A and B are shown apart, each in its own frame.
Chain A
Amino acid sequence: MSWSGAEPELIVEARGLTKRFGDFEAVRGIDVAVRRGESFGFLGPNGAGKTSTMRMISAVSRPTAGELTIFGLDPRTEGPRIRAGLGVVPQEDTLELELSVRWNLEMFGRYFDLPRAEIRQRTAELLEFVQLSDRANSRVDDLSGGMRRRLTIARALINQPQLLILDEPTTGLDPQARHLLWDRLYRLKREGVTLIITTHYMDEAEQLCDRLVVMDHGAIVAHGTPRELIDQHSTREVVELRFGEEGVEPTPARLASFAQRVEVLPDRTLLYVDDGDEALRDVHGDGLTPLSALVRRSSLEDVFLRLTGRTLVE
C-alpha cells in the first residue's frame, strides 16, 4: 500500500483532460504536468475552465474524458486516498460561520481522522502562521474577508498536504491582505509544499508561479515560465498612450511605423517595442501629442492580450 519508496516527480499529470456539462465543454482536452515542489499557475479570465480543472485535480469532480493522475494515483478509484494528501482553498470560503475560528480548524482535522492531540497542536501552529491566534475564539461571522481567507488557507493545511490547490485565492481582497497572503504562500513553497494556483490577476501569477499555463475557452493557449511567456509572446517594453477626446487619436497604421505591434483598447493604445523611450521620442517627433504616456516592461497581461485578443480583467 505504501508508495513512499517511489514518490513520483510529477504530482499531477493530465493528458487530454476533458470536462463536459451536457453540451457545454468546460475543459477541452488539456495536457498538464505539475512537478513536486513547484508553484504552478492557471491564468485566464472568468469562464476559462480554471475552476472545472481545479475540481478535477482536487479529485472531487470526475473527468469526462482523458487521463489524470494525482500523486500517481487514479482519482476515479483512489479519491479518498488522494484527498487525504491535498489541501484545497476554494474560490468561496466554505467555513462554518457560527463556529469559532479554532473549532473550524479542529473539526476539519477530524475529517482527516487525525489524532486529537495532533489536531490541537496543528491548530495552534496554523493560527500563528496565518496570524489569527488572537482571534481563535471569535466567531467566523465576525471576521473580515481577508481573515476568513487566511482561515480557509489554515484549514486547508490542517492535514499537512503535499499539494495545496488555491482557486482565485486573493479575489476580493484589499492590497494589504493580498500581500500578507502572498507572503504566507511563499513560506509554504519554501517548506516544500507544491502549489497550484488559479488567478485572473497577472501580477499574482508573475509573483507566485514558477510555471503557468494560460487558459482560454477551456483550452491551454500557452505555457511556460512567466519570463518565457513574455519573451515568446510580447516585446521587451510597452508604451501606453492615452489620447483624450475621440477622433484625435492617430490611426493604428500611423503608429505601426513606431512599433512592432499596436493594440488599440477602449481607453488606451499600446505600442509593443524593444525600447520604449526611443519609441516615445519617435511618437513625439512625429508631432503626436498624447495626453499621457507610460513606458513599462511587458507583463503577462500583454501575453494574454496577444494570445486571445482580450484583456484579463474587464
Chain B
Amino acid sequence: MTSGLLDQAPRAGWARWRRSWWYHATVYAQTWRGSVAGAILFPFLFLLAMGVGVGHLVTAHVGQVDGESYLDFLAPGLLATTAMQLGEGESLWPVLGALKWVRTYHAAVATPLEPEDVLAGKLSWVTTRGVATGVIYTVIIGLFGALHSWWALTLPLIGGLVTLAFAAPLVAWASGVESDGAFVVFYRFGTVPMFLFSATFYPLDAYPGYLRPVVQLAPLYHGVALARAAASGHGATPALLAHGAVLAALALVGITVGRRRMRRRLVD
C-alpha cells in the first residue's frame, strides 16, 4: 500500500542538500526573534559612532588612514568582522547541540539524508546568511558614502566567504568533541583578540614589523583586507587572489574534515 515512496528514483545528492538547507532556513525563520532588526541597527550605530564620530577625531589629528578617510577604512572591516561572528555563532554550540543534546541531526540521518547532506545544508545555510548580512552591510555602508568601486558589488559574496571560512572549520571542530568546554576558551582567546587586532580599526603598518606576520596569521585579517580592497577598488584583484585564497582554503579544509567527522559521529 505504501510502496510508492520506494519506487521513486534515488534522489541525487544535491536534492537532499537542498532539503537540508531548507530545514535550517525554516528553523531560523521560526526562531529569529528580531535578529534581523539587530542586523540592520548594529552596523548603522557602529558606523555612526566609530566611523563618523571617531573618524572625525582621526581626520582632525592624523588625517587619512592608508589613503582613505577613517570611515572608508573602517566600514568594510566591520562587514568582515560581523561575518566572522555569524560563522562562529552558528557553528559551535548549535552543532554540538544538534549532535549531542537535542540530537536533531540524528533525526535527519534517519530520513533519506546522509551525514554529508546535513553538513552541506548547514554550511550553505550559514553562508546564505553571511551573504544576506553582506547585502545589508553593503547597502548601509553605501548610504554612509563609503563605497568607491564597482568591486563593492562583491562585498556580499565576501561576507559569505568569510562566514564559510569560519563556519566550516568550526563545525568540523564541534562535530568531533564531546563537550563544549573549549568553546568558551576559543571565544576568549581566539575571537576577541582577533576582533581587536586584525587591522580592523587601524592599519597593519601600525604594528612593529615583527608583529605583522603574526597578525597576518589571523583568518579575520584576510577577510578585512579583502573587504577593504573591494570597497575601495584599490588592489582588488591581487587581494582576491591572496586573501580570498586563504579564506577559501580554510573553508575547504573545514568541509573536508567536517564531512569525515560528521559521518563518523552520526553513522558509525
List the B residue with the shortest CB-CB distance to A161: B2
Once bound together, how far apart are the Cα atoms of A2 and B7, in whole Å? 5
Q: Which residues of chain A from 17 to 69 have any CB-CB distance to chain B below 8 Å in the complex? A: 21, 58, 60-62
| Of A61, A78, A84, A192, the contact of B1 (CB 8 Å cutoff) | A192
Once bound together, how far apart are the Cα atoms of A80 and B2, in whole Å? 16
Given known A-B contacts A96-B102, A107-B23, A111-B108, A84 and B6 have beta carbons under 8 A apart: yes
Closest Cβ–Cβ distance, residue A171 to chain B (whole Å): 16
Dominant SS among interface residues on chain B: helix
| Of B5, B23, B103, the contact of A84 (CB 8 Å cutoff) | B5
Is the beta-carbon distance between A99 and B3 smaller than 8 angstroms? Answer: no
Q: Which residues of chain B from 107 to 122 have any CB-CB distance to chain A below 8 Å in the complex? A: 107-114
Is the beta-carbon distance between B102 and A110 smaller than 8 angstroms? Answer: no
| Of A2, A61, A78, the contact of B10 (CB 8 Å cutoff) | A78
Q: Which residues of B contact A279 (CB under 8 A)?
A: none
Stretch at the interface among A87-95, A234-242, A260-268: A87-95
**B22 interfacial contact with A, CB 8 Å:** yes
Q: Which residues of B contact A71 (CB under 8 A)?
A: 6
**B148 interfacial contact with A, CB 8 Å:** no
**A201 interfacial contact with B, CB 8 Å:** no
Q: Which residues of A contact B19 (CB under 8 A)?
A: 110-111, 113
Once bound together, how far apart are the Cα atoms of A82 and B110, in whole Å? 10
Is the beta-carbon distance between A94 and B10 smaller than 8 angstroms? Answer: no
**A153 interfacial contact with B, CB 8 Å:** no
| Of A3, A85, A94, the contact of B106 (CB 8 Å cutoff) | A94
List the B residue with the shortest CB-CB distance to A1: B9
Q: Which residues of chain B from 3 to 19 have any CB-CB distance to chain A below 8 Å in the complex? A: 3, 5-11, 15-16, 19
Once bound together, how far apart are the Cα atoms of A3 and B31, in whole Å? 42
Once bound together, how far apart are the Cα atoms of A164 and B112, in whole Å? 15
| Interface size of B as a range | 35 or more
List the A residue with the shortest CB-CB distance to B16: A80
Report B242-268 CB contacts with A as 1/0, cut-off 8 Å.
000000000000000000000000111
Closest Cβ–Cβ distance, residue A26 to chain B (whole Å): 11
Closest Cβ–Cβ distance, residue B93 to chain A (whole Å): 14
| Of A83, A94, A103, the contact of B112 (CB 8 Å cutoff) | A83
**A4 interfacial contact with B, CB 8 Å:** yes
Report B197-210 CB contacts with A as 1/0, cut-off 8 Å.
00000000000000
**B149 interfacial contact with A, CB 8 Å:** no
Is the beta-carbon distance between A99 and B31 smaller than 8 angstroms? Answer: yes
Is the beta-carbon distance between A162 and B2 smaller than 8 angstroms? Answer: yes
Is the beta-carbon distance between B104 and A81 smaller than 8 angstroms? Answer: no
**A7 interfacial contact with B, CB 8 Å:** yes
Closest Cβ–Cβ distance, residue B10 to chain A (whole Å): 5
Partner-A contacts on B (CB < 8 A): 1-3, 5-11, 15-16, 19-20, 22-23, 26-27, 30-31, 102-104, 106-114, 266-268
5 A-B Cβ contacts within 8 A? A2-B7, A60-B110, A80-B16, A90-B103, A98-B30
